[in-house]
Structure 1
Amino acid sequence: MKQIFLTTAILFSIIFNKAMAQNNAGSTPAVLNHIAVYVSDLKQSTVFYESVFNLKIIPEPFHDNRHTWFSLGPAGQLHLIQGLKGTQNFDKNEHLCFSVPSVDEFVKKLNAQHISFEDWAGKEKGITLRVDGVKQIYFKDPDGHWLEVNDAK
């Protein structure tokens, strides 16, 4: 009887230790909290992101007129930070991407706001069709940061 109890206790201990190791905080993946974009004109960039992407402004703790925070839903937040000096040349490979239900409808919105866009190759008013069937376009925010919009589900 002692041997069965001892064997059961050892097995329980091994299983418990494995379960605890799997629940260790060190094995939990990080979650995106926010993306910060440095901008030269906070008011202009706030209007741009709010009107182009219909983002909702959320409270920010600084109240220093140098920050605008937007909710990105479960993905986290977008923080605009005033202070960029001069013009920058950003590479298209480094971009923010937003998904929309319809790229074609989104293009109509960009055209109505006189915002130029292009496909990945740089063809003006072009729409890239990826091999997986996703449509995508690229354009720049007021400071030249590249933005992608696609219809990925």
Structure 2
Amino acid sequence: MIDIQFIHHISLNVRKLEPAVAFYRDVLGLKELERPPFDFEGAWFAVGPAGQQLHLIVHEGEVLREGGMHSRDGHFALRVAGYHRTIEWLERCGAAYDARPRPRAGFPQIYVMDPDRNIIELNCDPAELES
């Protein structure tokens, strides 16, 4: 059996690097990491304190979504502290979002899309809504 320890990184395709970097750095607050000198454009970010990473890869192909935001589409999720503070921040940044404070999943969720229409779920502990 494979002994998986944790997710190391997630890679997402983006068409234009600078708007994507600005979204992940300035809106989501991720810290950009040094990236090896690959022969294609991209950026790496730290995700939380446990060493996980997000890798952005510039790709001109047709693999990116064209439609609207739907929670059943492929996405990745980040646990956040402060559900209402997160919504306030997204509003200050002018980022569109879909807030779901009491979904069937059992924990509050907020869905956002990056400039290339990749979906990110931001969720928090349900106890945060009670306090």
The structure where helix makes up a greater share of residues is: 1
Higher relative contact order (CA 8 A, sep 6+): 2
Q: How many equivalent residue pairs?
A: 121
Superposed displacement of residue 69, structure 1: 0.4
Q: 1:136 to 1:75 in 2, by over 3 A?
A: farther
Is 2:123 aligned against 1:150? yes
Between Structure 1 and Structure 2, the one with more strand by share is: 2
Where do 5+ consecutive residues of structure 1 fail to align?
1-25, 120-126
Identical columns (%): 25
Shift of 1:28: 2.6
Which stretch of structure 1 is more off in the superposition, 89-98 or 35-44? 89-98
Which residue of 1 is the match for residue 36 of structure 2? 61
What is the match of residue 129 of structure 2?
none
Conserved 8 A contact 1:32-1:75: no
Shift of 1:147: 1.1
Which string of whole-angstrom CA distances, capped at 9 and with x for unpartnered residues, describes residues 90-138 of structure 1?
Answer: 653211111111111011111111111114xxxxxxx331357521111
Question: Offset of 1:27 from its aligned partner?
Answer: 5.2
Amino acid at match of 2:58: Q
Aligned-residue CA RMSD in angstroms?
2.4
- Name 1:82's counterpart in structure 2: 58
Cα distance change of structure 1 residues 57 and 64 upon mapping to structure 2, 3 Å threshold: farther
Hey, what's the Cα distance between the residues in 1 that align with 2:34 and 2:58?
16
- The structure number with the bigger radius of gyration is 1
Q: Deviations over 1:77-101 (max 9, x none)?
A: 1000112346623653211111111
In the TM superposition, what are the counterparts of 1:100-111 in structure 2 within 5 Å?
100-111=80-91
Matched AA of 2:53:
Q
Please, what TM-score do these two structures have when normalized by structure 2?
A: 0.78
The two structures have a TM-score, normalised by structure 1, of 0.68
